[in-house]
Amino acid sequence: MSITTYLKNDSSLSKTGRSLISGFVGGLAGAAVKSVIEQFLPVRKVDDKSAQMRIVDDLSTKITGTPISTENEAMAEQLVNLPVGGSLGAAYGYGKKDRLGLKPMDGVIFGATTWASTHETSLPILGLEPKPTDVPVKMQLNELFAHVAFGVTLELVRHYVDKQLRE
């Protein structure tokens, strides 16, 4: 059986494969859109490092003895953002494997809950970001908007890729 035949099949295993692939690709696209938005809408104070950079700096320091250089920070941050976006997208795609059709509101909800479960709760608890009460409301709204755009992009691309894989 060829990969094309496998993906077009309507078996549970084929649906799972399609949903993981389409979600992963959608998550990569969503992460890219989120990153572009964050270039224009500030989501943290200028001198604050993102949670991703704090983790990468800590890891780099443990491995090499020095943090990531300033000129490599943008690239290092994307080396975290893209796999995380792809992984979240794959999980989202799997959750939608039996739901055909485009549902942008699902992406809105997914993006907003991703924001709430990371920037508003777990990252501050882990000490990787300031408490929500210490972040200006405008920056929180920018971050929420970027996450909603991530979720909507994820849903649009996931739907398109899934449809292409089924046809």
Query: pLDDT tens digit string along 69-102?
Result: 888 888 888 888 999 999 999 999 999 998 889 9
Q: Give residue 154's pLDDT.
A: 98
CA distance 84 to 90: 10
pLDDT class of 7 with cuts at 50, 70, 90: low
Task: List CB contacts of 37: < 8 A, sequence separation 6 or more.
Answer: 142, 145, 146, 149
Query: pLDDT tens digit string along 126-148?
Result: 998 999 999 999 999 999 999 99
Q: Give residue 134's pLDDT.
A: 92
Mean pLDDT taken over the chain: 91
Which pTM value belongs to this model? 0.90
Q: Which of 99, 58, 56, 102 is nearest to 79 (CA)?
A: 56
